[in-house]
Each structure stands twice: as C-alpha cells, then as structure tokens.
Structure 1
Amino acid sequence: MYIPLVFLSLIGFCITGLFGRQIGPKGAAALTTSCLFMSLLLSLFAFYEVGLMGSFVYIRLATWVSSEVLLINWGFMFDSLTVVMCVVVTFVSTLVHLYSIEYMSHDPHLPRFMSYLSLFTFFMLILVTADNFIQMFLGWEGVGLCSYLLINFWFTRVQANKAAIKAMILNRIGDFCLIIGILVIFINYKSVDYTTVAALTPFFKTKTVNFLNIDFNILSLIGIFLFFGAVGKSAQLGLHTWLPDAMEGPTPVSALIHAATMVTAGVFLIARSSFIYEHASHILEFITLLGAATAFFASSVGLVQNDLKRVIAYSTCSQLGYMVFSCGLSDYSAGIFHLANHAFFKALLFLGAGAIIHAVNDEQDMRKMGGLKNLVPFTYSVMVIGSLALIGFPFLAGFYSKDLVLELAYGRYTSYSHFSYYLGTFGAFLTAFYSTRLLCLTFLVKPNGYKSVIGFSQETFSNISIALCCLAVPSIFIGFYTKDLIVGVGNDFFGTAIYVNPKTLHVFDAEFTDFFYKILPVTLSLTGAGLSFFLYNFQSNILFSLKTSFIGRKIYTFLNKKWFFDKIYNECFGQFFFKFGYSMSYKSIDRGVFEIMGPTGLSSTALKTAYQIHESQTKSLYHYTLIILTTLSVLICFRQIWIIFEYNIDYRSIIIVFIALFFITNNNNK
C-alpha cells in the first residue's frame, strides 16, 4: 500500500511522457489523474493507520550507496508528519490534475504538461517520505527541476524564460547551503539517517568545529545551513524574489507548486530537523526574526499589486513567514497545522483566480475587471470562501491555525516571540485589507474592462467547478475538525516525528494569555477587511488622495518597487557579475591566461624553441662535446648552490620567478 502511494505518480509520468502522442491528450489526462486519485486514497488509508492508529511504518527497499562508512538506503519512513504531508500533496495534486484537463484543453502539449505535474508530485512524495537527508535531497532537487520545467512550460515567452531561470538560480543558492549542511552532518555523525542523527544529536551539544578559522558549535552550523536551504525553497526574505515572478507559468502550476506543496518543503525540513534545532536556540531565534520579517514584508507589498495572481503569490510568501516563525518558536505542530490548512484555501484561491482569468479572456490586471459578481457567481462564492479563510475569518480554516500561531507566539513571553506576534498581527491586518481589495476590484466595483471581454464572461460547470467545490469544503471545515486532533492541548499526535525540548514547551502558558491579545489578530483582520470594503466601494476618492499626496507617493513607490530588492540585486549583484564575467573571467582568464598557457603560448614557444635548437645543429663533434661539458658543469654548479642555500630558498618562489620570466619573454616577442 505504501510503495504504490509513492510510485503511482511516477508510473503516470513515464507512460504519459513516453507515449503521450499515442494515447493522446484525453488518455494522458485520464491516466495521470487516475494515478493521483489512487495515491490520494492510499494516503488517506496511511493517515488512518499511522496518524490515527499510531502505527509507525518503515520500509527499506534496497541499498543505494555503500562505501566505507557511507551507507544510504532506499527507505521510506511513514510517521504522523509524513502522512499529513502525503494527504496534502496528493489531495491538492489530484484536484490540480483534474482542473488542468479543462484549463489547458486548448494547449496542444497537454500530455507534456500532465507528465510534468505527475513528476513533480512523485518528487514531492519522495521528499516527504524519505528516511535520510540524501534521499530527501533527491526529492528536493527534483521539485526544483519540475518547478523550472513548469514555470517555463510556455517556453516561447521571454518572461517565462526569465522567471524560470530566476527561480532556478535563487533556489541553487539555498540548495548549495543545504548540501553543506548535509555534508557537515555526515562528517560529524558518520550517517545521514534521520533516526541515527536524532539519537546522536544530544552528544554534540557542546562540540565545536573550525569553519573559516572560527570555532562554531556543530549544531548551530548545521542548523543555519539547513535553514538557508529552507529559505530558498520557502521564499523567505532575501531569497523570496523568485516566487512572485513564478506566476508567469500556467495557473495550475501556481496552485500546485507555489501555493500548496513545493514552497512548504522548507517548513517541512525545519520540522523534520527539530531534533537539531531544539539544541541550537540561537538559530531558532534567527528563524523567528526572519519569518516574522517575511510575513510583514510580503503582506505590505501585496497591498499595491495589481496582477491577480501576484497578490495571491505575496500572500503565500506572507503565510510561509507565519509557518517559519512558528517553527522558530518551537511550535512545529502549529506550523505544520497552518501549512496543511493553508494548502487547501490557497490552492482554492489560485484555481479560482485561474477560473476568473479563463472567463475574462486571459486578463490578469484587476484594474481591468470589476462587476463579475453576477457574471461568474460560483467563482465569486469560492473566492470569497478562500479570501475569508486567508484573512482568518472566525470558524474558517485559517482562523484556527493562524490565530493559534499568533497566540502561541505571544504566550512564549520572550522579546523574539513578542516581536513576531506584533509583526504577524499587523501583517494579518494588511492581509485582510489586500484580500478584500482583490474581491472588490474583481467582483464588486463597477466594470472597468473592455465590453467585449466583461460582457461575455461566463463560467461552465465542469472539471474546474468540481475542483473548486472539493477545495472549498476543507477550506471551511478542515480547521474545526482537525485542530484538537493535531494541535490540541496535551495531544501527542506527532509523537516522535517532532521533538520539542520540554524546557521550551509553552502551549499551556498560551492558554492563560490575556483575552485582549488573543482577540487582537482577528479584530484587526476584520477591521482591515471592513476598511478595504468601505474604501474601495464607497470612498475610492480618499484612496486616490492618499496615493497622490507627497508621502503617499513615496510609500506607494516603495511598496510597488517591492522594497527595492530587485533593484538592489540587479545593480549590486547582477551587473557586478556580468561585468566581472566579461572583463575578468572572459577577457583576462579565458582569453588571457588560458590562451597564453595553452594554444597561443606554450605551443608557439615550443615551436620557436624547437626551431632554434634545430638551427644550432652544426654537425661538429667539438661543438657537441663543448655543449655536453658546459651543461654538466652548470648542473653541478646548480646542485652545489642548492645544497648551500636549500634552507634559505623556497622552491616555490623560484617557480614563480620562472613563470614571470616566461610571461615577460612572451610579451616581448609579441
């Protein structure tokens, strides 16, 4: 049951990818969707057996690498953390496959698209079911590859090319750090298995390692490198710029990869490595600060975005910040609970946005929409559900998880936790404001688009509607029905899957937090939603006055330029490396050193030397005898000099002198 859960999606990819032309678009769509649906059913069985019944499952398939002390097995570990992720991944992926059948029906390359989606799901399942860091890294790199392929699916579009390359490069930065972290683990632990590393970690609490001539605590070094890997994949502040640009891909790609699954891999990695982070408190504090800053930053930038999908993309970035700082406060279970809830309503928002774009002839600018409430009422209903769940409206999915994250943050009673609480609470206000702004500009205000587009907008009840219905139900009820199961006080749902130091356990303290601080996030969310609804529907002239004022223009420009992160990266890093690559790497090294040492240098010198030696042949025995005697005398002299000065002369300096003379001679000859 567990092996097919992982490999059914790979089977769908192989058949569709190899025989897509033979089975056709309908066959490819039916096959891949059926495989994912069966994986979903198996995931639900696994959740019942492992999550509810507490039956931990470990499967060892075969030996992958066996070399000296390095032993890596193909193994699958199903604990409560894994089965939660499996249900989320397969549920969302199945509905995205179903949605794509109609959304991409006009595309002639539908089999290729469906095969990429299935391959992505396979690698994501490999990532969450792996029992060691190397196998996890295989899935990690696989989802990065599929992200590149899917963002760049319409490869004839220049913006899609640029977005895919940007996503790949920024993820490479994080992946490089993750590799270093895994290597440090292997060098010190002599193993990469989760269980072995978890068992040995307490013995490394006080041990240090010399890195860059500085002594670091081993666990802190491992933790920071693993976290930098998570920063790249989960689009935290600093490596976040790829996520909004990735909206150039088809909308189902945005829903699957950049909302529900791939971007949550970093949060999963932090939770999976909790046995390391719990012994590195300084790293947890850094994680808390960066996560809170990301939540606030992304929600502030989302205020002024006009592209429908980019608004939702920045909300994804913001919600990932909540998950990360929750893990930084040792509330891993609350972070995973928010991850699961967020997957449903964020996928609903993205797929609903795709339905809107489909209805208005592929227009994505919200300023050119409006008045769609009566034209696409079903889509309007599901977007309202998704937006209310996102802002944490009482008794919807987001309310139970996001408010719990903020409540636990305040209940920690440290400066870091209160910093994250206040930033997260204000971020919740901004999130509610721009989510309601999205609904108003798209559905409620007077139509602003072209009559030929807006007037003929309509929706069809088919696969798109089925997928939206299936996502709307958990977006409403999943938080209510699973909160006590997963994160209830005194609950041990995750068991040994997540380790929390008893000294940092504060879930009981959070129960006694003042009522004012418990109610503040939801109050600000409702205030932000109401304020946005009022301004955009009845007092838009106030917004215009604010934007056109001196301070308003400065703030609007600052937010619209995304805090100038792209500008800084382009001018300080991009242009620098372009100039360095041309003037230094290409001109001085490739065309300079390599040419002199290679084709135009050594070869020409060897030819000239050979010609001179050839010219020196006089065919006289006396001359040859003189040369032999002179050479022997010189060699004996050099030997004697070397014996005398061997303790005072470094042979490396002689080599440098010879190389310098060689270059000087070469330049003089030219």
Structure 2
Amino acid sequence: MSSILIIVFLPLLASAIAGLGNRALGNTVAKSVTTAGLFISCGLSWPIFISFLTGAAEPTVVPVLQWVHSGNMTFDWALRVDTLTAIMLVVITSVSALVHLYSWGYMSDDPDQPRFFSYLSLFTFAMLMLVTADNLVQMFFGWEGVGLASYLLIGFWFKKPSAGAAAIKAFVVNRVGDLGFMLGIFGTFLVFQTTSIPEILAAAPALKGASTIGFLGMRFDTLTILCLLLFIGAMGKSAQLGLHTWLPDAMEGPTPVSALIHAATMVTAGVFMVCRLSPMFQAAPDALTVVTFIGAATCFFAATVGTTQWDIKRVIAYSTCSQLGYMFFAAGVGAYGAAMFHLFTHAFFKALLFLGAGSVIHAMHHEQDMRYYGNLRKHIPITFWAMMAGTLAITGVGILGVFGFAGFYSKDSILEAAFASGTEMGRTAFWLGAFAALLTSFYSWRLMFLTFWGKPRWSQSEHIQHAVHDEHGHADHGHDHAHDDHHSHGEHDDGTAGYHPHESPWVMLTPLIILSVGAVFAGFVFSPYFIDSEHFWQGAIYYNEHLIHSMHGVPLWVKLTATAVMLIGFVVAWFAYIKDTSIPRKFVDQFRNLHAFLYNKWYFDELYNLIFVKPAFWLGRQLWLKGDVGLIDRFGPNGAAWVVEKGAVVARKVQSGYLYSYALVMLLGLVAAISWMMVQ
C-alpha cells in the first residue's frame, strides 16, 4: 500500500510546480505536469479498488509523520486505506484526471491556465487527504482544504463580480456548516478522549443511550448531539436543505469546476463522512431520523426547482442537490452501502452530464439558456449520445430487468431500503424519493428535448449573434467563457443568422466517452458488491444485515415504482416539449404562483437576505459608523490628532520670530523660576 503516498501527494507536488512555476513554465508544461500526476494517481487507485473487490486486500494504515502529542490529545498523520477509501480514491482520481484532460480543450484560450490547473490539483489533494484520514483532525484538514480550493475555483474569473460573489457565498455558507463540524469534533474528543476514528467507532455502541448532556434543565443523548453537530458540517459541504444556497451560484465557475467539485467530489464529502462514522450514527437513532428527513426534503426540494430552470448548468446543479438527498436518506435509514453505491454511480453520470453540458455550451458559443438551443443532435452527435447515456443513467432506465444503466441499480436500492426500513420516516422518504424520481425524469428529458430536439432557436440569442459578428472571436469572461473559436459564417439552411454549431475537440470528447462507459456499466458490474456483500466492506461501514434481508422481501410494486415514475416523467416531458410545445406556457399561465415559487427556488435566497444578510450589513454599518468612526476614531487617533493640531496652533503663535518676544518670554520664565525658589 506504499502507492497510497504517491496517490495522495503527487497531485500536491504537481499543483506546487504549476502554481509556483506559473507562466515561467508555460501553459503546456503546467498542464502536462498536473494532468500526468492525476493520471498516475488514477492508475494506482484502480488496482487498490479491484484488490478490495476480489478480497485480496486488507484494511491498512500507512503512517506519514508524527503530528500532535499534547496531554491526552495524541494523533499522527496517517493514511487509512480500506474499502470505503478505495471507492473514494477511484471516484476522485478518475473524475479529476478526466476533468484535467477535458480542461485542455475547454480552457485552451484562457491566459491563466497554470493557475487553473494548479487549483484543480490542489483541490484533488485536499479531497484525497479527507478520504484517507485516520482521525477527525486530519479529516478536518482535508475538509477545509477542499473549501479553500473550491473558493479559488468558483471565483477563478475574479474580475467577474458575480463569480466573486458566488465564491464568497460558497465560502461563508460552508463556514456555517464547518462550525457545527468543529463543535462535533470538540465534543467527540471530550467524550471519547481521542480523535482516532477507529477508536471512536469501537467505543460508540457502548454509549448508546448511556450518556446524556444537560442543557437548560433538559437532558439530551450525548451521541445524538454529537452526530447532529457533525451532520451540520455534512449539510454545508453536501448542500443539503438549509445550507444548499451556495451550490447553484457556484455554477459561475468554469464548467470543468462544476464537474469536479459539484458532481463527484466535494459535495459527496458529507455523505462519505456520515458513512465513515456510520457505527457512531447507528448508535444515535434520533440523529439518523434527522438525517433521513433532511435528505428526503432536499431530494424533493431540489427536484421541484430543477423543473423550472432554463440555465443548462443550473438544472444539473439542482439535480446534484437532489441526488445528494437520496444518498443522505439512504444513510439515514441505515443503508450505508446503498448510499455509497449511489455516490459511486452518480460520480460517473453526473460528471458526464456536466462535461456534456460544457460541450454544448462550447458548441453554442457559451450560451447557457436552453431556450436558445434546439436540434443540436445533428450537429454535435458525440456530445448528444454521451448526454443520452448520462440521462438514461440518472433517470434509472432498465431493460426488461436484465440490464440497467447506473442509476437503475443505485436509486432503486435506495428506494427499496427506505421502504424496507419499516419506520415512518423511512416510508415518508420512500414516497418523497419516488416523486423526486418522477421529477428527475421530467427535468432530465426536458433538458434533452430542449437541447437536442425541436427547431433551432439560435437566432434569438444575443450572445450567439454577437459571437457570429465578432470576427476576432474575443473571449468574454463575463459568461462561462473559457475560449472562443472562429465559427463558420456561411449561411445556414435553418436561417439562424449563419451560425453553425460544431463538435468539441477530441481532447474534450474523450473524457465524455470514458465517462459514458461508467454511466452505462457501473451499476450492472458493481451492484452485487456494494449492496449484498458484507465481505466486500470488511467493516469499513456499518453493515445492516437485517435491512439488506428486508430489502429482498419488499413487494413487487415497490421494486417497480422507480421504473414507473421514470416512464411517467419521460412521457410528460415528451408531450410538453415535443408533441405540443404550448403545454408549458399554458401550465405557467394556469399555475403562475406555483411556477414563480419554484422558479425562485422557494425564495430561500430572498428569505436569507431578509433574515441574515440585511441585518448583518446594518449591524456592520452601525459598528463602523458609530462604533469605529464615531467613538474609537473620534476619541482615539482622531482625538489625539486634534489635540496635537490645536496645540500646534498655540505654539505657532508663540513662535513670532521677533527677538524682543523671545526676550520677554525668557524674562517671564526667569521671574517665575525665582518666585518658585523664594516660595520654597
């Protein structure tokens, strides 16, 4: 397992070379070093994962260095490698390597490519440090590292005000969650007297219901409080309802960033953390109920909002938020294997959809509004088939129960686990998840139909027409522009002002093809290991054998629910966007208030602005104007300056320049001195 050191630290080394060398090395060297580093890490990660699949590997801990030894607090820097780590290693390195390769084409004309690739590799290192952590402090180091890197990547185009605002919003909202995570770590150390994850998990079952905390005259279960605090951290990183508002705005970053951070890696950190600490959460059933509720509510909320968005990246962003909700309510009902399975499959098809969207945006000269697409399947066929594979995977399409795309296995297993849990909250999560699956099918096929079918609507886009008439093709980073190509200006037979969409370069298409393979086969190949094999997990998560047995005994209609709602969503989308395109307008006219509510994201941003942002700004202005300027500056530095200034005015009058004035002062001084001596 010595290769784990290379896997984790090679991206850091590559990031340092690209970042410190920057333009001195040139774009090609910076891109080559970081991309090669990630492909090497990826190549070393897959054998580790396969060895756990075959049962040839055992969990191990690789020491790195001694870290902290202070009283009872003792922990070293060590890399833990078990089944859970192996899964995250292949997810992180595979997606990151393909995103690096994709970015060669997408960011080809950006002047700051070394900085961008350095940030990508730095993010990957921080994420790898998080998932290999053997103690909570090391996990927090990686946790904050991905937060920093995501801030840098979201705000990469820092001259664009909306990108800077989105980066700050992501940073601040995540700090709210991180406060809960820190308090959870502090409390866990106080209770267990260690931050070692294996030691905590070994001791947690014995504390189930045996220890309480007093607060305001009431008693609370210790493990419940600790798990809820830790879960608040997970809510921030994984954009769960209440701390989700940063995720859609993060689409201001370049599209490869969306694929890396918001599809497969950072947003899954919270799910990973809950699964890593699953024995601890399992000993706190009330906390699991909260996890189930928040996950189901997020799943439902994000799916409803995704049905109304027009920006192609925002649709996929809300889809990510919804899918994360599935993972959390799976963990909440005790199906940690199903949660990790959906995390695994989701990484492939969601990264595929984001990168596919980037290819569409590239073809449409960075237009992101789907209302200005249409009929693109004939112009960008490879992108079309790649996104078709991703859509079939996320909607959970199966073929006669013999073969299914990735989501068919993972999403179905989550719904079956929720129903089989037998709890009231589990059944609620099942129905919310089923309805969210219907909406997922609807908005996914809505995206496909608006983008690849129907009549071309390009002539209505000011962005595209501006690009067509700009003979120099200057890159405008005011939108998601990484590069501008010279598009053909010949008159097109559909009358769209001479614009002709074209396929992306092969350096962008290759990652799409590879991810398509994962979206098609990942569920079919790996389903037996994730769901039914306790030997595969080797104690890396809490394996709920009773729940797994109950899942096999659920009624047939439960097993068919996901397929049924998928078909309903597809049919509704087909009728609304292919058969009769007037249906959406009629629906909006009939349910205008409902549409406005969903389109405005349930008014969470407006509510937070009213409750938190405006009062915070008001308080800041009061402290600044009345506290700092009016009190501290007035009687502090400004007051001292005023005294010196007035004293200088008096002194200046004394310094007249006339000799007799100085003689008079000297005489008066002499008289005063003699008088004082006589008095003494």
Which has the higher mean CA deviation after the structures are superposed, 88-97 or 62-71?
62-71
Aligned to 1:446: 455
Native 8 Å contact 1:278 1:501 kept in 2? no
Amino-acid identity (%): 45
Aligned to 1:649: none
> Structure 1 CA distance, aligned partners of 2:205 and 2:526?
33
CA shift, 1:54, in A, is 3.6
Report matched runs for 1:217-256 at 5 Å: 217-256=221-260
Aligned to 1:543: 584
**Is 1:389 the equivalent of 2:393?**
yes
Report matched runs for 1:202-601 at 5 Å: 202-205=205-208, 206-211=210-215, 214-394=218-398, 395-450=404-459, 455-488=499-532, 491-500=534-543, 505-549=546-590, 552-583=591-622, 585-592=623-630, 594-595=632-633, 598-599=636-637
CA shift in 2, pair 1:589/1:470, >3 Å: same
Aligned with 1:138 (options 130, 136, 141): 141
1:493-549, Cα deviation, whole Å (9 max, x unpaired): 1121112466xx311112111111110121111111122012211111222212112
CA shift, 1:409, in A, is 0.7
Name the aligned partner's letter for residue 76 of structure 2.
N
Native 8 Å contact 1:361 1:453 kept in 2? no
Q: CA RMSD, aligned part only?
A: 2.4
1:152-196, Cα deviation, whole Å (9 max, x unpaired): 111111110111111000000001110110011112212101011
> Structure 1 CA distance, aligned partners of 2:555 and 2:544?
25
1 or 2 for the larger relative contact order (CA 8 Å, sep ≥6)?
2
Aligned to 1:654: none
Name the aligned partner's letter for residue 589 of structure 2.
T
Which has the higher mean CA deviation after the structures are superposed, 184-193 or 83-92?
184-193
Native 8 Å contact 2:349 2:519 kept in 1? yes
Name the aligned partner's letter for residue 155 of structure 1.
F
1:540-596, Cα deviation, whole Å (9 max, x unpaired): 1222212112xx11111011110010110111211111111112x223433455457
> Structure 2 CA distance, aligned partners of 1:420 and 1:486?
21
Name the aligned partner's letter for residue 315 of structure 1.
S
What is the SS of the residue equivalent to 1:235? Answer: coil
> Structure 1 CA distance, aligned partners of 2:334 and 2:609?
36
Name the aligned partner's letter for residue 338 of structure 1.
H
CA shift, 1:208, in A, is 1.9
Say how many residue pairs are matched: 612
Aligned to 1:636: none
CA shift in 2, pair 1:598/1:66, >3 Å: farther
Native 8 Å contact 2:340 2:530 kept in 1? no
Structure 1 outlier segments of 4+, above 4 Å = 211-214, 451-454, 595-608, 617-621
Native 8 Å contact 1:370 1:445 kept in 2? yes
Native 8 Å contact 2:531 2:548 kept in 1? no
> Structure 2 CA distance, aligned partners of 1:588 and 1:110?
45
Report matched runs for 1:77-226 at 5 Å: 77-205=80-208, 206-211=210-215, 214-226=218-230
What is the SS of the residue equivalent to 1:10? Answer: helix
**Is 1:10 the equivalent of 2:12?**
yes
CA shift in 2, pair 1:297/1:453, >3 Å: farther
1:622-641, Cα deviation, whole Å (9 max, x unpaired): x99xxxxxxxxxxxxxxxxx
Name the aligned partner's letter for residue 211 of structure 2.
K
Report matched runs for 1:621-636 at 5 Å: none
Name the aligned partner's letter for residue 263 of structure 1.
V
Name the aligned partner's letter for residue 15 of structure 2.
F
CA shift, 1:216, in A, is 2.5
Name the aligned partner's letter for residue 590 of structure 1.
D
What is the SS of the residue equivalent to 2:377? Answer: coil
> Structure 1 CA distance, aligned partners of 2:674 and 2:172?
64
CA shift, 1:284, in A, is 0.3
> Structure 2 CA distance, aligned partners of 1:571 and 1:351?
35
What is the SS of the residue equivalent to 2:502? Answer: coil
Which has the higher mean CA deviation after the structures are superposed, 292-301 or 189-198?
189-198
Native 8 Å contact 1:348 1:471 kept in 2? yes
Native 8 Å contact 2:335 2:544 kept in 1? no
CA shift in 2, pair 1:562/1:481, >3 Å: same
> Structure 2 CA distance, aligned partners of 1:211 and 1:601?
47
1:482-503, Cα deviation, whole Å (9 max, x unpaired): 0102212x5331121112466x
What is the SS of the residue equivalent to 1:95? Answer: helix
What is the SS of the residue equivalent to 1:496? Answer: coil
CA shift in 2, pair 1:188/1:460, >3 Å: closer
What is the SS of the residue equivalent to 1:540? Answer: coil
Native 8 Å contact 2:129 2:139 kept in 1? yes
What is the SS of the residue equivalent to 1:154? Answer: coil
1:204-245, Cα deviation, whole Å (9 max, x unpaired): 331123356643222111100100000000000001011011
> Structure 1 CA distance, aligned partners of 2:584 and 2:65?
63
Native 8 Å contact 2:291 2:329 kept in 1? yes
Task: In structure 2, list runs of 5 or more residues that go unmatched.
Answer: 399-403, 460-494, 647-672
Native 8 Å contact 2:456 2:496 kept in 1? no
CA shift in 2, pair 1:529/1:54, >3 Å: same
Name the aligned partner's letter for residue 318 of structure 2.
Y
Name the aligned partner's letter for residue 519 of structure 1.
L
> Structure 1 CA distance, aligned partners of 2:200 and 2:258?
35
Aligned to 2:469: none
TM-score of the aligned structures, taking structure 2 as reference length: 0.86
Aligned to 1:44: 46
What is the SS of the residue equivalent to 2:79? Answer: strand
Which has the higher mean CA deviation after the structures are superposed, 55-64 or 199-208?
199-208
Task: In structure 1, list runs of 5 or more residues that go unmatched.
Answer: 609-616, 625-670
Aligned to 2:35: 33
CA shift, 1:49, in A, is 3.1
Name the aligned partner's letter for residue 438 of structure 1.
L
Native 8 Å contact 2:8 2:128 kept in 1? yes
> Structure 2 CA distance, aligned partners of 1:620 and 1:464?
94
CA shift in 2, pair 1:211/1:527, >3 Å: same
> Structure 2 CA distance, aligned partners of 1:213 and 1:375?
68
What is the SS of the residue equivalent to 2:582? Answer: helix
1:261-287, Cα deviation, whole Å (9 max, x unpaired): 000000001001112111110010011
Aligned to 2:65: 62
1:418-463, Cα deviation, whole Å (9 max, x unpaired): 0000000000000100100000111101111125678311114511
> Structure 1 CA distance, aligned partners of 2:522 and 2:50?
16
> Structure 1 CA distance, aligned partners of 2:36 and 2:122?
14
CA shift in 2, pair 1:103/1:605, >3 Å: closer
TM-score of the aligned structures, taking structure 1 as reference length: 0.88
Name the aligned partner's letter for residue 99 of structure 1.
Y
CA shift, 1:48, in A, is 2.8
